[in-house]
Amino acid sequence: MILITPNWLKELNGAWVFYTVLPKFPYIHPSFKRIARFAPLIGLIIGSFQACILLSLSKLGWPSESLPFFAIAINLWITGGLHHDGLMDTADGVAAGQEKCLEAIKDSRVGASGVIALLMIITVQIGALFKLDSYYLFALPLASFWGRYSQIWAISNYPYLKNNGHSEFHKLNWKGVLIESLPAIFCILFLTYISLKINILYSLRMHFIIINILGLIISIIIPKLIANKLGGHCGDSYGASVVLVETSTLFLISIIFPAFL
């Protein structure tokens, strides 16, 4: 039985199906027209799930040294490696040069540049999570949120490279960066409200503000750098933006939190 539901709920279900390997919401027919606007919310949920699993493992006595590896494994499992695949393909495209980038991105074989990029990203994430220790509870959701916000910025501001590509539907149904950012803005306002109401987060409020400002800046800069290299964006480079912004945000949080607490 399919319920009569508003379009935004259908698209939220579509985003859940598209960006994760988890089952769709029951009784709601998914729609995929404008799912990118919900990507930051999905990222927030994924990051929160990672943090909860790591917290549970820690309470069960797992050594802290093992937790960064679990965090990465959980991310790969929930997303099916969707964004990491895009990272590897984009790295191969950048290495091939702008004239041959699309050919390299479309190639199903992974080149040396793609493997190196993946190893570098995973290594940096592990190092950042080691440094963060228990602060991963805040870092993982925020990094995942801003990583996926980069897609909204990339779709809004740069041309789509592939004709009839799998991710072209994002561009075709786009309503502009402000409208498509509304769910993300609501999430940040809600998190800000929570940080103001919960006393235990008082000492972290300034860090919360700084991290979100940095996350926004990074989610704007990295899609621009990729677009400069490729001449635009495609589905794979959207995924690359997610991973690169997520990793950069984690790295910066690992510097900010321990240094000022």
pTM, 2 dp: 0.92
| pLDDT confidence band for 137 (50 / 70 / 90) | confident
Encode pLDDT of 218-246 as tens digits: 999 999 999 999 999 999 999 999 999 99
Give alpha helix (H) positions in the chain.
7-19, 39-59, 67-79, 82-96, 101-106, 112-132, 136-157, 168-172, 177-180, 182-197, 205-230, 235-260
Encode pLDDT of 7-53 as tens digits: 888 999 999 999 999 988 888 888 888 999 999 999 999 999 999 99
Least confident of 11-20, 30-39, 108-117, 169-178: 169-178
| pLDDT confidence band for 172 (50 / 70 / 90) | confident
Encode pLDDT of 195-214 as tens digits: 777 655 556 677 788 889 99
At residue 160, φ and ψ (nearest 5 deg) are -90, 130
Which pair of tokens denotes residue 199?
């006393």
Encode pLDDT of 73-92 as tens digits: 999 999 999 999 999 999 99
| pLDDT confidence band for 130 (50 / 70 / 90) | very high
Which pair of tokens denotes residue 179?
């409208």
Q: What is the pLDDT at residue 45?
A: 96
CA–CA dist 57, 44 (Å, integer): 20
Q: What is the pLDDT at residue 199?
A: 59
Q: What is the pLDDT at residue 122?
A: 96
Q: What is the pLDDT at residue 4?
A: 57
pLDDT of 1 over the 80 cut: no
